């Protein structure tokens, strides 16, 4: 397990807001001006900052299916019901997308959220297009479909209703035990070979998880969600993601063992990725929460990324390069072999899909 360091003398530590992952709200890459907190002599930086409230705004996008042609991922389409994510994972590779909205990839990303109120209706219209060809849709590829606000808004659940009604296959990736709420939809879909779920587990250390991913489900609850889903007949594996060298990667085997004990039979891992603004946010987080480890962790990241903090090339961006990356990959392979993980990959059934009817369509006689 990893112990975080207390460093009350650290100026950056005093700027951290309770329940938030990023240590600051630094401007995005498209902004002309940046601001810094400074001590004006009145001791303001000595005071605890007030809680940062979550703001919800409607997203009026006219489509919900996002398409990609990346060779690094096994799907070409995905749905993200939300922009921004209240889980607050400091390492989240989706953070830079908030810069396109004129907002900070830092605390804005986890407190100024956009939701798609008409997602289910728009999805049904997209599936009804004559040109649509069925392949599985991935949920949770950018921001988490089961972040805390989903408990009230139920946008992800409305999307599941549409996909279930038309026997459309999907995969779900999440850090939230809230996914078990939808077992009533997922279990019948799983019986038809239409769904798989993966719970992402970064660490089993609760104290570290509270700092890295402050509003995600606890590691214990995620493991219990893996158990509940598998017991309900919903195939659920584990994503050891991200593996942070020098901070969480030592737990890889322990996480895989715990997930296997909970019923997981498939596993994957992703090495820490720090594109664009995340590099600075993560470095700031390390100096705030674990200053004694910061240099070592960042040097290991550079060792895995060709001397920088990130490499964007296809084929290596998920796993890194160099000896440390090779060792991480080998450890994963050996642990999976020992535990019997990934012996059989489940293919999702695309043959059951039936297109939603469009206004004026002739009804089928069968």
Residue 274: alpha-carbon gap to chain centroid = 14
Dump the DSSP string for 6-50: P-TT-TGGGGPPTT-SSS--PPPTT-S--------SS-GGGSPPP
Helix, strand or coil, per DSSP, at residue 237 = strand
Where does 85-193 have alpha helices with state H? 107-111, 119-127, 150-153, 155-165, 183-191
pLDDT, mean of each 10-residue run, the chain (366 residues): 47 63 78 59 59 90 92 92 96 93 92 96 97 96 95 98 98 98 98 98 97 96 98 98 97 98 97 94 94 96 94 89 97 98 92 88 58
Residue 77 parent element (H or E): strand 77-79
Residue 81 gets which letter from DSSP?
Answer: S
Alpha-carbon dihedral of residues 334, 174, 81, 180, nearest 10 degrees? 130
Q: What is the predicted pLDDT for the residue at 222?
A: 98
Closest Cα to residue 249, out of 307, 300, 191, 302?
300
Whether the upstream peptide bond of residue 242 has omega within 30° of 0, thus cis, is yes
Q: What is the predicted pLDDT for the residue at 25?
A: 79
Radius of gyration for the alpha carbons in the chain, expressed in angstroms and rounded: 21
Exposure string of 235-272, with b = 16+ CB inside 10 Å and e = fewer, is bbbbbbbbbbbbbbbebbbebbebbbebbbbbbbbbbb
Q: What are phi and psi of 154, to 5 degrees?
A: 55, 35
Domains parsed from the chain with CATH numbers: 54-339 (3.80.30.30)
Q: What is the predicted pLDDT for the residue at 41?
A: 58
Q: What is the predicted pLDDT for the residue at 254?
A: 98
Q: What is the predicted pLDDT for the residue at 17?
A: 76
| Straight-line distance from the first to the last Cα atom of the chain, in angstroms, rounded to the nearest whole number | 59
Q: What is the predicted pLDDT for the residue at 358?
A: 77
* CA angle centred on 104, ends 99 and 110, rounded to 5°: 110
């Amino acid at each position: 397990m990893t112990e975080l360091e207390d460093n009350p003398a650290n100026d950056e530590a005093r700027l951290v807001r309770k329940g938030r992952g990023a240590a600051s709200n630094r401007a995005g890459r498209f902004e002309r001006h940046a601001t810094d907190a400074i001590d004006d002599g009145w001791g303001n930086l000595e005071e605890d900052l007030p809680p940062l409230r979550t703001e919800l705004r409607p997203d009026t996008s006219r489509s919900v299916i996002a398409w990609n042609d990346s060779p690094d991922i096994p799907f070409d389409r995905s749905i993200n019901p939300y922009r921004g994510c209240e889980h607050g994972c400091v390492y989240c590779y989706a953070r830079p997308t908030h810069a396109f909205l004129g907002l900070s990839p830092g605390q804005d990303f986890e407190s100024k959220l956009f939701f798609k109120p008409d997602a289910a209706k728009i999805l049904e219209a997209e599936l009804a297009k004559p040109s649509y060809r069925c392949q599985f849709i991935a949920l949770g590829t950018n921001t988490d479909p089961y972040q805390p606000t989903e408990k009230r808004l139920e946008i992800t659940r409305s999307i599941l209703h549409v996909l279930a009604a038309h026997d459309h296959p999907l995969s779900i990736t999440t850090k939230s035990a809230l996914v078990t709420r939808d077992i009533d939809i997922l279990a019948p879909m799983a019986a038809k070979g239409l769904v798989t779920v993966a719970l992402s587990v970064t660490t089993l250390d609760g104290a570290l998880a509270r700092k890295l991913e402050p509003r995600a489900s606890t590691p214990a609850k995620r493991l219990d969600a893996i158990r509940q889903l598998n017991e309900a007949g919903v195939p659920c594996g584990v994503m050891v993601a991200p593996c942070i060298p020098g901070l969480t990667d030592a737990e890889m085997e322990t996480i895989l063992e715990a997930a296997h004990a909970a019923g997981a039979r498939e596993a994957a891992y992703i090495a820490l990725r720090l594109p664009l603004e995340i590099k600075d946010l993560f470095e700031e987080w390390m100096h705030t929460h674990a200053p004694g480890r910061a240099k070592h962790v960042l040097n290991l990241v550079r060792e895995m990324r060709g001397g920088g903090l990130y490499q964007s090339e296809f084929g290596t961006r998920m796993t890194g390069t160099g000896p440390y990356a090779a060792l991480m990959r080998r450890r994963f392979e050996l642990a999976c072999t020992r535990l019997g993980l990934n012996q059989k990959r489940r293919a999702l059934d695309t043959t059951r899909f039936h297109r939603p009817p469009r206004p004026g369509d002739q009804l089928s006689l069968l």
